Amino acid sequence: MKALCLTLALAFSAGAFAQSNPVVRWNRIVGVITAPGVDNPVGAAPNQIHSGGGPWTTRGGSAHVNLFSGEGSFEVEGLVLNGGSASGTPGPVNSVVGTLVCNAGTANQAIVDTPATDLSPDGNAELAFRLTVPAGCAKPIFLIRAGVKWIATGTVPTTHPGANSY
């Protein structure tokens, strides 16, 4: 009986901890697909994050963030412009940052940036990081930004309660 109680107590504790320790994973990174000169902002004014001035594409990538510890990473492959004279290259962009947006479009919207990391001439970048994630981070969005403009985003987010990292 004591073993059963201990097992149930441990299972309950693990479940409670798991709910407070979610990892959000974006299984794919895709470029912003807008016509040149068309803005596709994320979030609400005055804290909108505007999109890059032209279309971008990627070959792949992923990101994850532990909303409890702030530990995470992202990697993107082949992040290049799609059109114009710099088509197939990152153009003048040689570094990017990851941006976690919590509660996008609400009064509680929060924007947290990673440090910058190099973007190779082939459009590849990767970074492991630790962020200070605000409490109550709901419906998180992950962006890849060049300067102040977003040029790629994580898609198909999944939440993994209790996972510490990937």
Q: What is the pLDDT of residues 11-20, one digit of tens each?
A: 333 333 334 5
Quick one: average pLDDT of 59-83?
97
Quick one: average pLDDT of 87-104?
96
The CA R_g of the chain, rounded to the nearest whole Å, is: 18
Give the pLDDT confidence of 103-157 residue by residue, as tens digits.
Answer: 999 989 999 999 999 999 999 999 999 999 999 999 999 999 999 999 999 998 9
C-beta separation of 135 from 41 below 8 A: no
Entry field: residues in the chain:
166
Whether the predicted pLDDT of 58 surpasses 80 = yes
Contacts of 68 (CB under 8 A, 6+ apart): 20, 21, 22, 133
Model pLDDT, residue 91? 95
Q: Is 51 helix (H, G, I), strand (E, B) or coil?
A: strand
Whether the predicted pLDDT of 28 surpasses 80 = yes
- Model-wide pTM > 0.95: no
C-beta separation of 32 from 96 below 8 A: no
Whether the predicted pLDDT of 10 surpasses 70 = no
